[in-house]
Structure 1
């Protein structure tokens, strides 16, 4: 096995002390000459020096590791968000550990314990749907976590922990307004997971805006989905046969499933049925299906989430958990993306 190049090896090659090498390679203030600096950097490059992160952590009290827990890594929205968060972390020299809770509170709880035991510098957390039934338990556990915590997307903890997410109720209202502007009054809806607050908020905003316009949703045109393609596909027949002229799917994956079933039946979007989705995630995966949708910009969400967590990491925490005691909350605004799958009547 090849031996790791040490600071002493670099110092010997450059003809300087190990102290000088440590100051230069760790970027600490010093009065060393430019010539010395250049010699050290050249020696480090020649010897393929790689910093020992464990040793550096003992000095800086940081591991430059961030943990991210997602509820479903197979969900394209969460997968894309995780990638964007990783890119943001890397800009500041941090590495990201990603773990999947499979929307299970028990798995999530174990992950929190295991990941924080690795002395990560921060925890980014998209809670499972099951967590909505165990808020007090989750809060108690996070009070013992020794690093800053930021909730992302699902705003379950916005009143007691740092959180960043989109205004789902406003997104639902945007979807309703789009269909109202197009003249639709007989409208179907495929909701997300019944346990997810994001889903209920989208539906509530959608229903409220329609009600304000004097449009009543027919219960027979409301189908429970689960944010997966199959649920959009399975719910399509009920809505099509119910005589709806338009449907609001609470995410793009269900909209994709709905469109697949629509085509199987020989029907056209938007001529026979107008469809509006939520997330604007399909283009990021190169899918050719275009659908009018409510965009939740994953790049923006990743940037704001990382900025919030990184600010907490850089602060001095002599005592307490300020991310829970004085939580910061950012509610981002969704936008309508018109891809011409809503027909004007």
Structure 2
């Protein structure tokens, strides 16, 4: 089947090829509504599909960005990706999504692959293990934005939650319900991932602020698949906590699973607060309290800034850390003096 060309569209619409080109590139400044309608009808009648590769070569732009997510299993990550896709679609950009699986080697391969495909920019949930590569993108003035994680010494915009405030508010929420024996569980801190470190710091600051004891046995940080071991140790203590903060969605899932397997009733025997976007929190019976991240707003703002950097690569836009505040989705939580103790 013969490929329909721009010349065919121009002939059918009774306009010049350059007018069709202006229409396809949305340059309507001097184009009448009747002309636009004729071109639109000609494109539909002929089934014309623009040659994206040819256009990219001409414009020296692919109208494509890459998104490298650290772990696509997090509901927060998938919501951010959805927002990025929505924003890019509204601006006629395509998105290639890659999952680094929290592995710096995999992340490096994806960055190199996307650079080879000449994507116009990237949004990265960085593993933190490719400093030289991050620096090289900055030095080349390549358009890149980080989400969720700060990499010290790398001058790139970052969009993330006010993590310290999130855990501070979680402690405050529990303290207001009469709890003083508060614990926290988080995935491993070994790689010093920003949200995990900041949420632990906020937890400790809040305990100090409210005059609550800091029990080292009430803090468990390890790989998610080993958190049940840490929880077992915590609740084998002579005096276990009456309340627990799960620092992200995967940690909260492990807490709920451990409680069920151990016969611990939530919230009558253990008050639980999560930090993250947790779809099952509201359908859990009774519902769980969570401090949710504004994932869609974060993804939208990150994409908007990246597209601005791509469009105005000659402008000097000083990178910043963009913080967002959590929102409490309150579930059922009895006062501590009404709780059953172990």
- The normalised TM-score by structure 2 is 0.88
Task: Decide which of 198, 221, 225 is 1:224's aligned counterpart.
Answer: 221
Partner of 1:201: 198
Match of 2:340 in 1: none
| Change in 2 beyond 3 A, CA 1:104/1:210 | same
Q: Please say if residues 162 and 329 of structure 1, whose CA atoms lie closer than 8 Å, have aligned partners that are also in contact.
A: yes
Partner of 1:332: 324
Q: Within 5 Å, give how 1:51-130 maps onto structure 2.
A: 51-128=50-127, 130=128
Q: 1:69 to 1:245 in 2, by over 3 A?
A: same
Q: How many residues align?
A: 332
> In the alignment, which residue of structure 1 is the partner of 2:156?
161
TM-score where L is the length of structure 1:
0.87
Q: 1:3 to 1:102 in 2, by over 3 A?
A: farther
In 2, Cα distance between equivalents of 1:329 and 1:220? 33
Alpha-carbon distance between aligned partners in 2 of 1:18 and 1:98, rounded to the nearest angstrom: 35
State the Cα distance separating 1:95 from its structure 2 match. 0.9
In structure 2, what is the equivalent of residue 241 of structure 1? 236
**1:264–1:39 distance in 2 versus 1, CA, 3 Å:** same
* Structure 2 alignment gaps of length 5 or more: 338-342
Residue 313 to residue 146, structure 1, CA distance change in 2 (3 Å): same
Query: Is residue 2:252 matched to residue 1:260?
Result: no
Match of 2:170 in 1: 175
Does the Cα contact within 8 Å between 2:138 and 2:156 map onto a contact in 1? no
Which whole-Å deviations, capped at 9, do the CAs of 1:282-310 have from their partners, x for residues lacking one?
Answer: 259x9646321111111111111112212
Runs ≥4 residues deviating over 6 A: none
What is the DSSP-based 3-state SS (H/G/I as helix, E as strand, rest coil) of the residue aligned with 2:40?
helix
- Matches of 1:341 and 1:107, distance apart in 2: 42
Give yes or no for the alignment of 1:277 onto 2:274. Answer: yes
RMSD: 2.4
The answer to whether the Cα contact below 8 Å between 2:159 and 2:323 also exists between their aligned partners in 1 is yes
8 Å CA contact retained: 2:66, 2:114: yes
- Tell me which of 303, 307, 313 is aligned to 2:304: 307
Q: Give the deviation of 1:31 after TM superposition.
A: 4.1
